């Protein structure tokens, strides 16, 4: 039999994964589906300090296990202040540290120019063992995604009194009144949990009393000062049976270990998910106690691959050198090969032999493009590109022939440009936009050009039409940016203006170019994909503006600016001559938009963040409430938003907040084949909404952590049960909304009447838990759905449903059938009053905004009298 002593160290992985497979309930987690994604113990194969055998990086810190069997905890309190605690086994047999319980994930490290030091397919483990540290006593660490457990297994005949552990790096150690082991450090307390012991008999647990024991001579002198000794006092138990000691959750750690930023997301041909960004590098602390945080390279690019359901981390790759390396853009070609671009400050950034440029060219940063295999284990090609000053690559795309296009901006007058392109001259100011075209293997620069005026010009996003023409969007301070004669706007409007330019695929000619803005400032930001093309060849662009005279349409969703700055979404024809749709989107404070995409139904999605508690949301969205902790003066905070508009930009179909009480940013989104939406970004919120069983949330997280969220195409909490409906009453400029939608209440709405109306999208995507279909609508149905008993959920037949058009007074009536189904067909655009009557039930009333051609599905819930 064995005695098991277990201590849970409260760490969580650097990727926050949110999945939305359960109906949203206020202040409840997103999902009841457990997410098993975590950063396991990575084996050291030469990618980190030679003393380390295994390590695991987490937002709250990093855990290192040395080859000598020491456990080192590195934790940060921010402001580059960190603490290192070393736990050592006294008088132990020589530990034999080995991996146990191999993780599914593998890790790859491409650091520096020396390819012999690159490491691929590094194994990782969910558990590691120290072997027998005392006679009959084994020690292991388990990493289960929620926690890291330190487990002692005491076999029959062994004595728990033999266990003596020291903590080096603390000023004092004691057992507090709650029975927890509390370490006093220069940066604050670190508390380990009170152990709990039990024995199992026939599946039933009998708990045994256990406590920490501080030895009378409770410290010894170590190289760095005092090291406090503790052990365990275990009360009488049945020594013929196994005893398990398992603590409660650790109550506090100090804070985070730096920052991780998610910038881009993409899916491969089989639906697997890739996310890219940058993360602070892991550094083994050189000393115990408090120290100034330094990290090798400051940050590395990361690319991670996950299963489509976000339950499995398949692989992660780190890419960088001795400087600061940031990944901004990610694309996948037809062969499922991965391309990532960004900026590097490393003179030893990893490049490949036949790449276009293997040498750092100067300035603080060079742009880079790297190509990796689909399993992330091979760096196929990697190149610098830039001149003698600063060069930053922000967005990449791939044409139908597999050529790679990159845009960003440069301060280099000697930036690599080619002959016979639009312009080979730097126009002035601090920065010009650049546009470059590479061969797929990154061995050759096919074409490259500047684009700019005499002031600063910032290229931010790129997209390519089916004919191979290239569109770039950004913002400019130049009053003489090149425009074309028939362009929508040939004049600078003041401050910084957005711009859109169209070039031939060989970059030889400027086909169209236009300013776009008002008298204030417009920004098409560099951290996302802010421009896209619909099947008809129209261009959609998003960004943000503080111009009250920004060009919008009078019948757009939000024709007037609402706050300090609002998001804008605009549509122009492919020649950039005509503005056919344009709207603001925002609340009373500030918003930023980073990414725009078009789904299979031609609906427009954008993501970014909002600082406005009254940002427009819709009633059955995942979260209609702003989640900021209430510091209205803290402009660094804000919630992620995801919004869906009609292609005409006249109606907000769906819109939701996503976030916690601190800073949350949405940078990228992508659709799967079923129309579900993956959103990636970063969060600084310890209460960011996670899957219910995924991770604990009662902790102080790091500076920031990557998140990935999965929402249905209606932006509700459940793929297949969602929203394509009218915004909340207080948030719909100049319209009459559906007045009684569910589920998420908003603090700005009036109490809903007793009956409720749930709106479900027409296209129901398949999910791991398939919802029960209500009915199959005919193609020409306008408004349809089912009627149910609110309490029991039973379908109700013979319910009389009346629809009255407010503009004409015309009434249409129908009755629900024996399956509770009803429908109205071929309706004109109008505001309709809907009533539902059945004997014995309270009368149901609501108002619906309807546009011709829409299909809206409702579930009407009636309450008995």
DSSP 177-236: TTS-EEEEETTEEEEEPPP-EEEEETTEEEEE-EEEEEEEEEEEEETTEEEEEEEEEE--
Domain span including residue 855: 772-862
Distance CA 46, CA 679 (A): 34
Whether residue 399 lies inside any domain: the answer is no
At 803, which CATH number?
2.60.40.1120
Question: Domain ends where: 245, 277, 305?
Answer: 245
Whether residue 204 lies inside any domain: the answer is yes
> For tokens 């998003």, what's the residue?
542
C-alpha pair distances (Å), 302 with each of 94, 109, 216, 320, 341: 36, 9, 48, 9, 11
Whether residue 155 lies inside any domain: the answer is yes
Whether residue 489 lies inside any domain: the answer is no
Question: Domain ends where: 245, 261, 287?
Answer: 245
For β-strands 210-222 and 204-208, DSSP reports them as unpaired
Question: Which residues are within 8 A (CB) of 190 and not within 5 positions of it... i.e. 6 or more apart?
Answer: 73, 75, 83, 85, 170, 182, 183, 252, 253, 254
Task: Look at the chain and report how many structural domains it folds into.
Answer: 2
* Residue 78, φ and ψ in degrees, nearest 5: 85, 175
Q: How confident is the model at residue 740, as a pLDDT?
A: 22
Whether residue 228 lies inside any domain: the answer is yes
Q: How confident is the model at residue 826, as a pLDDT?
A: 85
Q: Give the other-Cβ count within 10 Å of 401's Cβ.
A: 9
Strand ordering across the sheet containing 677-683: 15-19, 705-711, 677-683, 664-671
Mean pLDDT by 10 residues, the chain (865 residues): 45 39 34 45 92 80 88 72 84 89 90 93 93 89 73 84 87 88 84 79 85 71 64 86 60 48 92 90 61 58 89 88 94 97 96 97 96 96 97 96 97 96 93 98 98 96 97 97 97 97 98 98 85 97 97 96 96 98 95 95 94 89 78 65 95 89 87 91 72 36 72 68 34 26 29 28 29 34 82 83 89 87 87 89 85 79 86
Q: How confident is the model at residue 662, as a pLDDT?
A: 81
pTM of the model: 0.77
864: helix, coil or strand?
strand
Distance CA 725, CA 730 (A): 15
Whether residue 379 lies inside any domain: the answer is no
Residue ranges with strand state E in 816-854 = 821-825, 830-837, 844-850
Question: Domain ends where: 245, 270, 288?
Answer: 245
> Is the link from the previous residue into 743 a cis peptide, with omega within 30 of 0?
yes
Cα angle 349, 351, 357 (rounded to 5 degrees) comes to 105
Whether residue 677 lies inside any domain: the answer is no
- Give 764: exposed, middle or buried? Use CB within 10 Å, 0-12, 13-18, 19+: buried
Whether residue 234 lies inside any domain: the answer is yes
């Amino acid at each position: 039999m064995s005695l098991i002593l277990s201590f849970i160290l409260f760490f969580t992985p650097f990727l926050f994964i949110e999945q939305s497979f359960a109906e949203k309930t206020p202040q409840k987690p997103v999902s009841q589906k457990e997410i098993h994604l975590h950063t396991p113990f990575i084996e050291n194969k030469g990618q980190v300090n030679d003393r380390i055998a295994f390590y695991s990086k987490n937002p709250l810190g990093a855990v290192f296990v040395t080859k000598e069997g020491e456990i080192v905890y590195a934790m940060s309190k921010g402001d580059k202040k960190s603490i290192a605690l070393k736990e050592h086994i006294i008088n132990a047999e020589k530990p034999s540290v080995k991996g146990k319980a191999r993780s599914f994930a593998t890790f790859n490290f491409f650091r520096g120019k020396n390819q012999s030091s690159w490491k691929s397919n590094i194994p990782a483990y969910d558990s590691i063992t120290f072997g027998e540290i005392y006679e009959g006593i084994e020690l292991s660490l388990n990493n289960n995604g929620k926690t890291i457990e330190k487990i002692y297994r005491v076999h029959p005949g062994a004595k728990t009194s033999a266990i003596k552990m020291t903590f080096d790096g603390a000023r004092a150690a004691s057992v507090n009144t709650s029975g927890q082991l509390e370490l006093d450090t220069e940066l604050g307390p670190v508390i380990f949990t009170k152990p709990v012991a039990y024995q199992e008999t026939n599946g039933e647990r009998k708990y045994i009393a256990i406590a920490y024991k501080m030895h009378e001579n409770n410290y010894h002198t170590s190289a760095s000062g005092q090291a406090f000794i503790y052990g365990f006092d275990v009360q009488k138990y049945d020594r013929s049976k196994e005893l398990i000691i398992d603590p409660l959750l650790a109550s506090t750690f100090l804070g985070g270990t730096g920052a991780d930023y998610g910038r881009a997301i993409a899916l491969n041909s089989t639906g697997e998910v890739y996310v890219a960004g940058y993360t602070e590098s892991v550094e083994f602390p050189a000393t115990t106690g408090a120290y100034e945080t330094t990290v090798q390279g400051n940050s590395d690019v990361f690319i991670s691959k996950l299963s489509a359901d976000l339950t499995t981390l398949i692989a992660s790759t780190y890419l960088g050198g001795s400087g600061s390396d940031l990944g901004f853009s990610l694309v996948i070609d037809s062969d499922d090969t991965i391309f990532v671009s960004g900026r590097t400050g490393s003179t030893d950034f990893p490049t490949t032999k036949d790449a276009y440029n293997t040498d750092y060219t100067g300035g603080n940063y060079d742009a880079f493009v790297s190509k990796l295999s689909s399993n992330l284990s091979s760096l196929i090609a990697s190149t610098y590109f830039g001149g003698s000053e600063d060069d930053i690559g922000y967005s990449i795309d791939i044409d139908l022939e597999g050529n790679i296009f990159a845009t960003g901006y440069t301060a280099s007058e000697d930036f690599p440009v080619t002959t016979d392109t639009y312009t080979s001259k730097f126009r002035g100011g601090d920065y010009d936009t650049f546009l470059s075209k590479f061969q797929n293997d990154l061995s050759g620069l096919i074409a490259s050009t500047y684009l700019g005026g005499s002031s600063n010009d910032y290229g931010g996003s790129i997209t390519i039409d089916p004919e191979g023409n290239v569109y770039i969007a950004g913002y400019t301070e130049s009053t003489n940016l090149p425009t074309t004669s028939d362009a929508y706007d040939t004049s600078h409007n003041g401050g910084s203006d957005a711009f859109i330019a169209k070039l031939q695929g060989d970059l030889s000619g400027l086909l169209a170019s236009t300013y776009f803005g008002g008298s204030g400032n417009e920004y098409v930001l560099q951290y996302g994909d802010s421009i896209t093309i619909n099947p008809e060849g129209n261009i959609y662009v998003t960004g943000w503006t503080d111009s009250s005279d920004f060009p919008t349409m009078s019948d757009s969703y939000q024709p007037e600016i609402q706050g300090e700055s609002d998001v804008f979404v605009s549509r122009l024809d492919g020649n950039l001559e005509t503005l056919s749709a344009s709207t603001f989107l925002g609340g009373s404070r500030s918003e930023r938009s980073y990414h725009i995409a078009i789904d299979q139904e031609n609906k427009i999605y954008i993501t970014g963040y909002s600082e406005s508690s009254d940002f427009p949301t819709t009633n059955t969205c995942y979260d209609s409430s702003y989640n900021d902790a209430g510091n209205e003066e803290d402009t660094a905070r804000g919630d992620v938003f995801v919004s869906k508009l009609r292609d005409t930009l006249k109606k907000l179909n769906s819109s939701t907040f996503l976030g916690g009480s601190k800073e949350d940013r949405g940078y990228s989104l992508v659709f799967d084949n079923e129309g579900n939406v993956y959103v990636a970004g970063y969060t600084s919120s310890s209460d960011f909404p996670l899957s219910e069983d995924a991770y604990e949330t009662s902790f102080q997280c790091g500076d920031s952590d990557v998140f990935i969220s999965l929402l249905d195409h209606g932006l509700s909490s459940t793929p297949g049960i969602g929203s394509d409906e009218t915004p909340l009453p207080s948030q719909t400029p100049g319209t009459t909304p559906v007045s009684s939608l569910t589920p998420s209440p908003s603090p700005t709405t009036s109490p809903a009447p007793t009956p409720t109306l749930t709106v479900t999208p027409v296209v129901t995507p398949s999910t791991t838990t398939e919802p029960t279909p209500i009915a199959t609508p005919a193609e020409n149905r306008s408004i349809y759905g089912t009627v149910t008993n609110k309490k029991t959920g039973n379908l109700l037949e013979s319910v009389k449903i009346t629809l009255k058009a407010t503009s004409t007074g015309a009434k249409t009536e129908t009755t629900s059938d024996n399956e509770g189904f009803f429908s109205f067909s071929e309706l004109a655009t109008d505001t309709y009053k809907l009533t539902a009557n059945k004997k014995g039930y309270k009368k149901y009333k609501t108002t619906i905004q309807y546009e011709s051609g829409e299909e809206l599905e409702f579930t009407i819930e009636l309450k008995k009298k």
